[in-house]
Copies of this chain bind each other. A is one copy, B any other.
Amino acid sequence: MIVHQTEPYNAEPPPDALADRAVTALDTFYSRNHGPIPQLDPHTWRLRVDGEVDHALSLSLAELQSRFEPRVLTATLQCAGNRRAGLMEVRDIPGEAPWGSGAISTAEWTGVRLADVLAAAGLGAAAEHVAFAAPDISTLAEPSQPYGASIPVTKALAGEVLLAWGMNGEPLPAAHGAPVRVVVPGYIGARSVKWVQRVSAQRHPSNNYFQATAYRLHAADSDPATAGPYDGLSLGVVAVNADILRPVEGQTLPVGATEVTGYAFAGDRGVARVDVSLDSGRSWVQADLDEPSGPWAWRLWRTTLEVPAGPTVITARAWDTAAACQPESARLLWNPKGYVNNSWARVRVVGSD
């Protein structure tokens, strides 16, 4: 793993650990934390469901597992800061981790539908948002506060949002939210709250620091330090993105045929096409897309290119099913917190005879 920070622990897999694997191994799934990793006892853990509901619930893990129908769903999670390193090449972003291509991973999640749990509590008509609270205290907020987030109730009621205790057929590891985490497919990873202890139906979005202040897109010339809560765009639904996983930046390759592989992800929209270029976009070939592991999983892609002698840039871009294409340049997407770099993917390689 490429460790950006040890406390809190923030690490991403190297590109090679993601390549050619529809599902990411547990020990290489990216880890994005805002505070110390809580060690919760699954036997005493309880989930409180409250707020705009007819009757609040308090569920043990055994009750969660037995009262509702278990579901298995393959879903990709992507940090809002994935590929931030490309923005930091444009202009530095102090205090933020320089995530490369690996702040994204895919797992097969086992859990129950959040919608089923909300139905059991009798979701009230006044509920517009569903908030999640966890016990991990973050000093990124001032004053320090436990992590939290929220999603619109329409998303909370969509069948794909899970309260998950299993990951790739194993119990959830502590670093990934044991005993239970939220999985919100198609949203930035920050909404998939780990170590969840409370689900609250409410009229307004969460006022937690990580919903109200962080994870918001600000204009390039704005100063987030002086921005108020709720300024800027609250990030949720993900935009089409892609990166190249193999070859890697700076690699020397034999002249001739080389396989290029990577991922593309577009959340609810789905990936329609991936183009790859050896001439910086003057001409493109269409990559072959692997069959998806389901509607909420990334698409791995591959194609074979003829690498010439000398330095070459391999460029890739994805299109979603709305025909939205990734923008060309990270320079034009730079923002003060370094979110949502979905500019074209590029790796520089050298062809050697």
Contacts and interface: CB of A to CB of B under 8 A. Distances in A.
Contacts of A240: 324
A15 B272 CA distance: 32
A202 B238 CA distance: 31
A339 to B, nearest CB: 7
Q: How many copies does the complex hold?
A: 2
A339 B324 contact: no
Q: How large is the interface on A (under 10, 10 to 19, 20 to 34, 35 or more residues)?
A: 35 or more
A325 to B, nearest CB: 6
Contact of A322 (B267, B272, B283): B267
A333 interface: yes
Given A219-B275, A221-B283, A273-B233, A328 B325 contact: no
Contacts of A320: 239
Nearest to A317: B332
Interface string A301-343: 0000000000000000001111111111100110000011010
B323 A340 contact: yes
Given A322-B238, A324-B240, A324-B342, A332 B233 contact: no
Interface of A: 217, 219-221, 233, 235-240, 267, 269, 272-273, 275, 281, 283-284, 286, 319-329, 332-333, 339-340, 342
